Structure 1
Amino acid sequence: MSVDTTAVETVNQAFYTAIENADLDRMTEIWAEDVDGEQVSCVHPGWPIVNGRQEVLRSWALIMANTPYIQFVLTDVRVMVLGDVAILTCEENILTAGDEGDSSFAAGKVVASNTFIRTESGWRLWLHHGSPVLQGDEDEEEEAA
């Protein structure tokens, strides 16, 4: 594994830890600055695309303020580094407080693509795109088999 690959995986884990800890200051450090008219972007599952650093960070603040508990277990993590750009794909296996609050939990799966750019401050997140994995009867039948 290359030094760049390890560095990208480290900042990616910091991204998910910031969400789990509702740490907006750390989230702010992880996202890249908008550069030369180009804006960072984020696609939360079920949301329209959010463009621009200020709007992206505002969206995370909203999520953090309204999520009493969330935990991510990342699987199938793959990293590709192409010069000053890195793409990390993974499955987010999510455990969160359910509709009943602290007494219930809900689980779900999201596939994510995280694109990072190399900056003077290290690797920074440029694009996060999360898409829910719909689990229906077929998945339940496979698990039962």
Structure 2
Amino acid sequence: MSTTRPYPPPGEPGPEAEGAASPVTPPPGQVRRLRLVGVSGAVPRSRDFAREALRDWGWLPAATADHRAAAEDVLLVVSELVTNACLHADGPEELRVSCAGKVLRLEVVDLGAGQPAPRTPHRAGRPGGHGMFIVQRLCLDWGVVRNGDRPGKTVWAELAAPA
């Protein structure tokens, strides 16, 4: 888990990434939310939801290979976070997507008690166990916020907007 800096509360975007530029900045404070309680096909539905937000915010259609790669990274991280909630946390409750300045923030809320972490040591040739390693490699930062006195947590990840 990341310990590189304090993280904002769930639902609030973190600080901007250095050296990145956003193609389109959504209205300030905009957070897109997708309820996932009891939904079948949560992973593809979450990817479609994130893809639509990226279209609305000008990330898609991608103007360059770098923009395309940034959008694909976002969709991959969404897949990994929602899949982990499905496999290890009794399913996701909600996906939140927000973009503030130069940073896109993803949050997956679940009721699980576990603590996501990259598998150590990472073994590239073995099946399974790559989700949080991928998140760690693609994101500026990521972490976990517990839901206080309620069960569950919010797993968040931040990615740089394409340059």
Q: TM-score, normalised by structure 1?
A: 0.36
User: Larger Rg: 1 or 2?
Assistant: 1
Q: TM-score, normalised by structure 2?
A: 0.33
Select the structure with the greater relative contact order (CA < 8 A; seq sep ≥ 6).
2
